[in-house]
Homo-oligomer: A and B are copies of this chain.
Amino acid sequence: MKNRIITISREFGSGGRTIGKMTAEKLGIPCYDAELIEKIAEESGFSKEYVADRDEYAVGKGLLSHAFADRDFYGHSYQDELWTVQRRVILELAQKGSCVIVGRCADYILRGQADCLQVFIHSDMESRAKRIVEQYGEREDSPEKRLKDKDKRRAAYYNFYTDMKWGDVHNYHLSLNSGALGIHACAETIANLY
């Protein structure tokens, strides 16, 4: 496999998705995010909404207990089924050509399988809170509470399916603070390193 892949893991509200798109544009390669959801939905038979809702921060209330719930006779859950399809789709995309893949544990799935630049985008709580209110509007819960809840779910999902610690600096080649550096500088830095 000679393709070169950029995987972007990101904290909710850090602008990782936008940075992924910008980087891909700079490099003239595709960025898979919404397309990834469509492809996984198509191949799994789940609805796009269901797939989108079950990203890295998808484990429901009760966290890990959820991953063990709704299992069939063989111990498989819908979540496991989704994971299997997601894994296959990501491996296929990486084989097809160089690209940027945002989220969905692509960093873990492609480890040892492709030439990857593994990026983590994080930011301070204040910048993230501002960003999610701009992007998704006000909700009943405070933005800080929403962020903490998403962070917890994402970490639990990631740790469950990858047995690695979410957000541990050692999992990545490059970690960037988008709040301090700005979205544009992050995209520029990733593109330059690639």
Contacts and interface: CB of A to CB of B under 8 A. Distances in A.
Nearest to A168: B169
Interface in A102-125: 120, 122, 124
A1 interface: no
Contacts of A188: 192
A173 B167 contact: no
A173 B174 CA distance: 11
Q: Which of A124, A168, A170, A193 has the most CB of B within 10 A?
A: A170
A177 interface: yes
A68 to B, nearest CB: 29
Contact of A185 (B124, B176, B193): B193
Contacts of A177: 170, 172-174
A181 B193 contact: yes
A158 to B, nearest CB: 14
Contacts of A172: 175, 177
Nearest to A179: B173
Contacts of A84: none
Given A168-B169, A174-B177, 13 more contacts: A120-B169, A120-B175, A122-B169, A124-B170, A169-B175, A172-B175, A172-B177, A173-B180, A174-B189, A181-B193, A185-B193, A189-B189, A192-B192
Interface of A: 120, 122, 124, 167-170, 172-177, 180-181, 185, 188-189, 192-193
